[in-house]
Amino acid sequence: MKQFRKKLVSDKLKLTELVDKNLLKLKRKSHGGEIYKDEINKSGLLDFSTNINHLLELEPYMNSIMKSLTRISRYPDSDSMQLKKSLVEYFQNILTPNNLIIGGGSIDLINIFVSTFVQEKDKIVVCQPTFSEYEWAIKKRGGVVINEYRLPERNFQLNFQSLKKQLAKKPKCVFICNPNNPNGYLDNIEAMEDLICYAKERKIMVFLDEAFIEFAGEENSLITKVKQYENLFVIRSFTKFFGIPGLRIGFGGGNPKLINFLKKVQTLWPVNNVAQELAEELLNSKDFIKNSVRYFKEECKFVSEELAKIKGLKIYPTSTNYLLINTENTSLSSKYITNQMLKQNILVRDCSNYNGLDDYYIRVAIKSRDLNCKLIRTFNSVCN
């Protein structure tokens, strides 16, 4: 009887025995903008948790959007050739279409890069604290994450010397975000290029996430350097600066051979045609680009200075549209502050779940002057 029962149990299908074992412990961290969760989903909520450029107005683009909609009964161009041509122009013909790959948001590009290069037990350096999806994608493939920490006492800038020491141990890849999320510091471009060169000599792939580089100015991007460094893959996004997270589109730059491998791995038709069409238009919006860069530079300065007047708040330097705030000297945890602000209909990003940060970090996005003042007032009332 006992034996029979045992047999019955063992006959039951156990998914845990069938799935890739790397998935058993895999956990995803929460992100900003989770406004659809039951505990958050409420009307009138001001979302300062996602760092999206709010200056985009759709009206000037409605013609192209309508044109793209008439085509939704056809498959999108799986190679996004028109958009690639616009990107080539945007990058002043330094790149060619063969240097480019378009993806369903930069998260798609993170995943295909990882699927291309990261295998079981490969060692991968990740510069923390940073976007948690690198780590998630690496662990999903059974890769081993080696953390290199950006430190608060250095304003979270990269320590290139320390990072070189990590690379001397010959990991397979290194993941760097610049300007880094969640702090916004723009790392030195010459030092970054020197690092890429150092990595190349050691046959280490460099994954450089420039999702926020447009805020810092295009001259700070290393995407055109993919022609020199075949170990470099740079990803960019239409989500942040161009303000269309809802359409899911990003792009990457690399050596043609690298791009070919990534395209082998990517699923077919990764980007819908509405996103492809609108992205093209946005690249040509010179005024929107110029105004956005100027606005966020000035407004970041204003909000930083105002928040810094609140006793106990430390604001880190940024070249983006978001600010990282340390609350430790208020003795109030980020979780407490986040909850208190949510009661006043303001959603900010509790950063305590970032690897490399503790319980006292909050990220806020920069919005219009009115809303920013509301944010500042709410911080004031919660912290005092």
If the CB atoms of residues 69 and 168 are measured against a second copy, the closer one turns out to be 69
Alpha carbons 257 and 76: distance in angstroms, whole number:
24
Positive/negative CA dihedral, 222, 291, 34, 331: positive
**Could you tell me the smallest distance in angstroms from the CB atom of residue 222 to a second copy?**
17
If the CB atoms of residues 234 and 315 are measured against a second copy, the closer one turns out to be 234
If the CB atoms of residues 70 and 384 are measured against a second copy, the closer one turns out to be 70
If the CB atoms of residues 203 and 309 are measured against a second copy, the closer one turns out to be 203
**Could you tell me the smallest distance in angstroms from the CB atom of residue 27 to a second copy?**
8
What is the b/e burial string over 318-346, where b = at least 16 CB atoms within 10 angstroms of the residue's CB?
bbbbbbbbbbbebebbbebbbebbbeeeb
If the CB atoms of residues 186 and 271 are measured against a second copy, the closer one turns out to be 271
Encoding tokens for residue 188?
């030195």
**Could you tell me the smallest distance in angstroms from the CB atom of residue 6 to a second copy?**
16
If the CB atoms of residues 163 and 258 are measured against a second copy, the closer one turns out to be 258
**Could you tell me the smallest distance in angstroms from the CB atom of residue 201 to a second copy?**
7
Alpha carbons 269 and 272: distance in angstroms, whole number:
7
- The phi-psi region of residue 170 (left if phi > 0; otherwise alpha if psi is between -120 and 50; otherwise beta) is left
Give the CA distances from residue 75 to residues 32, 72, 180, in Å, rounded to whole numbers and listed in that order. Answer: 31, 7, 35
* Residue 91, C-beta contacts closer than 8 angstroms, at least 6 positions apart: 223, 224
Nearest to 164 by CA among 188, 196, 135: 196
Residue with tokens 């990058």: 91
Nearest to 298 by CA among 321, 326, 314, 324: 321
If the CB atoms of residues 107 and 324 are measured against a second copy, the closer one turns out to be 107
**Could you tell me the smallest distance in angstroms from the CB atom of residue 74 to a second copy?**
6
Helix runs in the chain, H state only? 2-11, 15-18, 62-69, 81-90, 106-117, 133-140, 160-168, 189-201, 213-216, 256-265, 273-283, 286-308, 334-343, 369-383
**Could you tell me the smallest distance in angstroms from the CB atom of residue 16 to a second copy?**
9
**Could you tell me the smallest distance in angstroms from the CB atom of residue 264 to a second copy?**
5
**Could you tell me the smallest distance in angstroms from the CB atom of residue 20 to a second copy?**
6
Provide the 8-state DSSP code for 50: S
**Could you tell me the smallest distance in angstroms from the CB atom of residue 18 to a second copy?**
6
If the CB atoms of residues 105 and 179 are measured against a second copy, the closer one turns out to be 105
Backbone torsions φ then ψ of 314, nearest 5 degrees:
-110, 130
If the CB atoms of residues 49 and 330 are measured against a second copy, the closer one turns out to be 49
Identify the burial level of 230 via C-beta atoms within 10 angstroms of its C-beta, where 0-12 means exposed, 13-18 middle and 19 or more buried.
Answer: middle
If the CB atoms of residues 5 and 74 are measured against a second copy, the closer one turns out to be 74
**Could you tell me the smallest distance in angstroms from the CB atom of residue 13 to a second copy?**
5
* Residue 374, C-beta contacts closer than 8 angstroms, at least 6 positions apart: 46, 346
Alpha carbons 29 and 355: distance in angstroms, whole number:
10
Rounded to a whole number of angstroms, the distance between the first and last alpha carbons of the chain is: 68
Alpha carbons 260 and 100: distance in angstroms, whole number:
10
